[in-house]
């Protein structure tokens, strides 16, 4: 199948490579030439802009940072809709605001281009392994049509409802992760200040209800002082801002989300935005005057 892929960042590169390994002809575009060159070296075909990607492919995948980037890629002068042809389908896999998803979907519908949203969770590791959790929004028919492509990219697929439902589900996911990281940091800071090392507490409670992937992944990252980005803090800030904005738009209370978003913004303003979102634990380290290291 001829697939277009727009957005070759930390997630888009491994996802594109998986499509190439699955035998698809992949046409790529990104504003960063080095990212395009890397994919060309793996067998992809470079295109000069979004319009050319759409003209060359049947299914066009977008994996971009936020709502404005997706809108520009789809509706701009050299955008996907400008290069559409009979049979063009948009598979929008960015994590963006649900209201923006609906707006872009309406513009695509008016242009005769079916759209399925499919934001993902699982980080760079999940993208590389083809084991992403993919949360879709759109029609059942289009979901089934695109399932062979989604199966290459993820190990967990769910059609959550119509357009907007996929990104709403993703925002729920991101909200829970952010608040849980903060909760783990707060609790473990209390434990360490009271004289019990984080590693001891971790080993004691991980067999019970308090265990989670956040505890296993983010706490251990803090104990090992390993903050190299698997999912950058600045990207999580984008998702949390979309979550709080969506909550305000629909009248849902977001006191915890708003508070944690402010913590994350503080860390980003102090130079930690490019670190993994586990860096959120550093907020409590600073408040408590401690470090979540392992016992010596």
Catalytic residue numbers?
170
- Hey, what are 266's tokens? 């503080």
- Is the dihedral angle over the CA atoms 68, 80, 107, 118 positive or is it negative? negative
Rounded Cα gap, residues 105 and 283, in angstroms: 38
Length of the chain: 296
The alpha carbon of residue 168 and the mean position of all alpha carbons in its chain are separated, in whole angstroms, by 13
> What's the per-residue H, E or C state across the chain?
CEEEEECCCCCHHHHHHHHHHCCCEEEEECCCHHHHHHHHHCCCEECCCHHHHHHHCCEEEECCCCHHHHHHHHHCCCCCHHHCCCCCEEEECCCCCHHHHHHHHHHHHHCCCCEEECCEECHHHHHHHCCEEEEEECCHHHHHHHHHHHHHHEEEEEECCCCCHHHHHHHHHHHHHHHHHHHHHHHHHHHHHCCCCHHHHHHHHCCCCCCCHHHHHHHHHHHCCCCCCCCEHHHHHHHHHHHHHHHHHHCCCCHHHHHHHHHHHHHHHHHHCCCEHHHHHHHHHHHHCCCCCCCC
Closest of 102, 182, 173 to residue 133, by C-alpha = 173
């Amino acid at each position: 199948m001829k697939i277009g892929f727009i957005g070759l960042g930390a997630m888009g590169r491994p996802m594109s490579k998986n499509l190439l390994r699955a035998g698809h002809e992949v046409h790529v575009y990104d504003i960063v030439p080095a990212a395009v060159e890397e994919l060309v070296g793996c067998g992809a075909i470079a295109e000069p802009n979004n319009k050319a990607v759409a003209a060359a492919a049947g299914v066009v995948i977008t994996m971009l940072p936020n709502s404005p980037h997706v809108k520009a890629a789809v509706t701009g002068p050299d955008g996907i809709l400008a290069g559409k042809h009979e049979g063009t389908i948009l598979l929008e896999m960015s994590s963006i605001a649900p209201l923006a998803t609906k707006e872009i979907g309406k513009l695509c519908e008016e242009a005769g281009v079916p759209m399925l949203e499919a934001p993902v969770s699982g980080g760079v590791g999940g993208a590389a392994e083809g084991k992403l959790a993919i949360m879709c929004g759109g029609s059942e028919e289009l979901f089934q049509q695109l399932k062979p492509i989604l199966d290459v990219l993820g190990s967990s697929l769910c059609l959550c409802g119509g357009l907007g439902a996929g990104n709403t589900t993703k925002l729920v996911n991101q909200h829970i992760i952010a608040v849980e990281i903060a909760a783990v940091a707060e609790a473990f800071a209390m434990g360490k200040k009271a004289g019990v090392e984080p590693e001891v507490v971790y080993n004691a409670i991980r067999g019970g209800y308090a265990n989670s992937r956040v505890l296993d992944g983010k706490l251990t990252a803090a104990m090992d002082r390993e903050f190299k980005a698997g999912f950058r803090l600045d990207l999580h800030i984008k998702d949390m801002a979309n979550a709080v904005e969506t909550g305000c738009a629909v009248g849902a209370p977001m006191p915890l989300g708003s508070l944690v978003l402010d913590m994350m913004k503080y860390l980003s303003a102090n130079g930690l935005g490019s670190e993994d979102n586990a860096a959120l634990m550093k907020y409590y380290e600073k408040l408590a005057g401690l470090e979540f290291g392992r016992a010596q």
